[in-house]
Chains A and B, each alone.
Chain A
């Protein structure tokens, strides 16, 4: 099986089956290029995608009930 994974079969059906296996990753052009280049593969492995800093969730709508009260004052419920 290890040999099958390493050989990256070109057959589409086999490839689709492999894609469903946990952790299987087909070789990409750049990873092949890197493995040929040897040491260069360490270029980005330390800069993992988890490091991107996202915008925090927006929760600034703390006036909705106060606005309702103002509306009720202007036009009292009847």
Chain B
């Protein structure tokens, strides 16, 4: 009997060890950027199982995070939910707060904003009960993000300009701004510059969508400053694009062009072709607003070339439409006709009904000008 007990203790001890070892390897792989491999180790750790519920909770949480990173949100939801159930069962308040926050973020991505708000609010309430300032700041930021996404999801579906959304969208965006401000107060107290940078970036975009373009500029300038402090060139590039957008709506097109040029420069340094194309497109539009059609054409042609290279048919269509307009403005009707025809073909191909109609109208106008139709 004694030997038998001894044997079962040994097996259990080995299993405990291997469960934790597998999970550690999973975590190490995720940290190194290989979440796919990390997931298999975490899954293996769950298969082995453990008596230590705190360890199990951590494994669930990391599995959820890994699946989130891999964009498998339903799986992420499943594991964050297991983590929440477990944390509640063992009365681990801090664990419950973290699991609620993770669940909230996942629900936000899945577009379930109402449940996401409940979860993030739970994260906030527990963090405040525990006087956990870092957790509180995190929860405020996450809540801001949920309201921002909620507002933006409606905003993007329509064809509104920033500042001209329905009242419920604006209400959500105002809430987002309030949460970002509250977050900023805490992370500034804590001296967490990286967190300040994130909050300024999203706050700036929220002000932009609300039509508060001056406030957007102030926030994005702060974001830019912090990005430079950290040598974070991707964040620097985002700040330049966002500043460019805000200056367009302030009617300061020259300043916008300067920021878009900085975006373009960084996109090239970071060899991000999609961002490079977008910067060229924005520059083309800005020079159109400045009525410098030669420069506009130059940038739209650059945009077109990259869109063709990336096989982005929608981008190509947009470029052709813009080129048609710019050549029309210059009185070069032959070139305008060429791009209007191309715009029509692409619009038909991608099933863009509005584009097709616009192209047809442009074509009939141009054919009239060129005397090709009566």
Q: Which residues of A contact B (CB under 8 A)?
A: 19, 25, 28, 30-31, 43-47, 49-55, 57-59, 61-66, 68-69, 72, 77
- A69 close to B20 (CB less than 8 A): yes
Interface residues of B (CB under 8 A from A): 16, 20, 23-24, 26-27, 30-31, 51-52, 54-55, 58-59, 61-62, 65, 68-69, 105, 148, 152, 155-156, 158-162, 164, 166, 197-198, 201-202, 205, 208-209, 235, 237-238, 241-242, 245, 248-249, 278, 281-282, 285, 288-289, 322
Q: Answer whether A44 and B202 are a contact pair too, CB < 8 Å, given A61-B65, A65-B62.
A: no
Chain B hits for A51, CB < 8 A: 241, 245, 278, 282
A59 to B33, CA, bound (A): 11
Given the complex of chains A and B, what is the CA–CA distance between A66 and B221 in angstroms? 38
When distances are taken between beta carbons in the complex, the residues of chain B under 8 Å from A49 are 152, 155-156, 160-162, 209
Residue from B26, B54, B65, B161 within 8 A of A68 (CB atoms): B54
CB pair A54–B201 under 8 Å, yes or no, is: yes
* Chain A interface main SS type: loop
How far does the Cβ of B211 sit from chain A's closest Cβ, in whole Å?
Answer: 10
B245 touches A52 (CB 8 A): yes
- A44 & B161 in contact (Cβ 8 Å cutoff): yes
Task: Compute how far the CA of A28 lies from the CA of B68 in the bound complex, rounded to whole angstroms.
Answer: 40
Contact B30 A62 (CB under 8 A): yes
> Can you list 18 pairs linking A and B with CB atoms under 8 Å apart?
A25-B160, A30-B161, A43-B289, A44-B162, A45-B161, A47-B285, A53-B237, A53-B238, A53-B242, A54-B238, A55-B238, A62-B27, A65-B20, A66-B24, A68-B58, A69-B20, A77-B16, A77-B52
Whether the pair A54, B202 counts as a contact (CB closer than 8 A) is yes
